[in-house]
Structure 1
Amino acid sequence: MPLNPESPLAKLMANLPQRGRVDWIGLRPSRALPMQVVDEAEASTGGGLAGDRYAGGSGKRGITLIQAEHLPAIAALSGHDAVAPATLRRNLVVSGIPLIALKGRRFRIGEVELEGTEPCDPCSRMEDALGAGGYNAMRGHGGLCARIVRGGVVHVGDEVQAL
């Protein structure tokens, strides 16, 4: 059941003055291949990022994002000093804005407009990538899946802003 937009909780959830930044972009050419780190990527309306294995996908998982601030937590919970973004296989690492607050709402990254669709749960590959318990280390820190509403080019350094 959706919240009443006039409720105190809905008003708190709508208050998102922070702006974030894209710190890193990665493409997954296929499930088995390493991530390709890029400075920019073409986002297709209703699809995904050019060069990514989900480029022609269903749309609700067009781009996957992870919170930069969560990387140290994932590292600590999986017994590592640090975790490289490519290890986690998300498309964008974003800092400065709480990604979960973008679930169910539209936001802009540079010229690209997105809609947060659902939390991005970890996949079974995290056990191999992070070691025993890697899957559980990522639970609650997996990021956000987003649908591309209006395509364009996403660049490292682009601002992330709730609409």
Structure 2
Amino acid sequence: MDRGGRLVGIYTTPDRGAAMRARSRVRVIEGLGLAGDRYAAGTGTYSARGGSGRAVTLIAREAVRAVVEDARVEFAEHETRRNLVTEGIDLPDLIGRAFRVGDVVLYGARLCPPCGYLERLLDRPGVWRALVERGGLRADVVRGGTLELGAAVVALPTA
């Protein structure tokens, strides 16, 4: 990966199924996730499943735009229900490695495939299929801090 990207969207919601709220900055808690988000509080739809990769979810702006074209439905970034929206970085390249978003360090745990829950919640047929292989990334918080829109997203060197 030659260059990094940037953070172009931050979204949280305190409750499963509730609308995502846009934020210009958010505190990130090591080992938990984004302050004020359902997954940091352990109340997200999939919180009970446990395991790594439940703290923060990311999706690329480029993927959202491709979904709009392929599914031919209006679909906004916050409707993906991912916490962070990036631009200019290939998220699958971050699987199995640490990366920095501003002063926060995350670890790319695994891909974040779409689920039927999202399509039912939005009541927009075709969104699920269009998100397959574009659903983004699940990550753990290695080092907390504060995220702000415009922050650089950069893969850290591997050991």
* Superposed displacement of residue 141, structure 1: 0.6
Match of 1:132 in 2: 125
* Superposed displacement of residue 130, structure 1: 5.9
Tell which deviates more after alignment, 48-57 or 150-159.
Answer: 48-57
Question: Is the Cα contact below 8 Å between 1:78 and 1:130 reproduced in 2?
Answer: no
Please, what TM-score do these two structures have when normalized by structure 1? 0.85
Label 1:90 to 1:133 Cα distance change in 2 as closer, same or farther (>3 A): same
Tell which deviates more after alignment, 127-136 or 21-30.
Answer: 127-136
Aligned AA (2:128): Y
Please, what TM-score do these two structures have when normalized by structure 2? 0.87
* Superposed displacement of residue 54, structure 1: 0.3
Q: Pick one of 65, 68, 86 that aligns with 1:75.
A: 68
Label 1:110 to 1:28 Cα distance change in 2 as closer, same or farther (>3 A): same
Unaligned runs of 5+ in 2: 43-49
1:39 aligns with 2:24: yes
What SS does structure 2 have at the residue aligned with 1:54?
Answer: helix
Match of 1:99 in 2: 91
Question: Is the Cα contact below 8 Å between 1:26 and 1:91 reproduced in 2?
Answer: yes
1:28 aligns with 2:20: no
Q: Pick one of 141, 148, 155 that aligns with 1:155.
A: 148
1:90 aligns with 2:82: yes
How many angstroms apart in 1 are the aligned matches of 2:144 and 2:75? 30
What SS does structure 2 have at the residue aligned with 1:148?
Answer: strand
Aligned AA (1:90): R
State the Cα RMSD in Å: 1.4
Q: Pick one of 40, 59, 63 that aligns with 2:56.
A: 63
C-alpha offsets along residues 100-147 of structure 1, whole Å, 9 cap, x if unaligned? 100000000011001000101112233232611221111101000110
What SS does structure 2 have at the residue aligned with 1:55?
Answer: helix
Match of 1:3 in 2: none
How many angstroms apart in 1 are the aligned matches of 2:37 and 2:22? 11
How many angstroms apart in 2 are the aligned matches of 1:90 and 1:20? 17
Aligned AA (2:115): C
Tell which deviates more after alignment, 120-129 or 25-34.
Answer: 120-129
* Superposed displacement of residue 19, structure 1: 0.8
Structure showing greater radius of gyration is: 1
Unaligned runs of 5+ in 1: 1-15
How many angstroms apart in 1 are the aligned matches of 2:76 and 2:126? 17
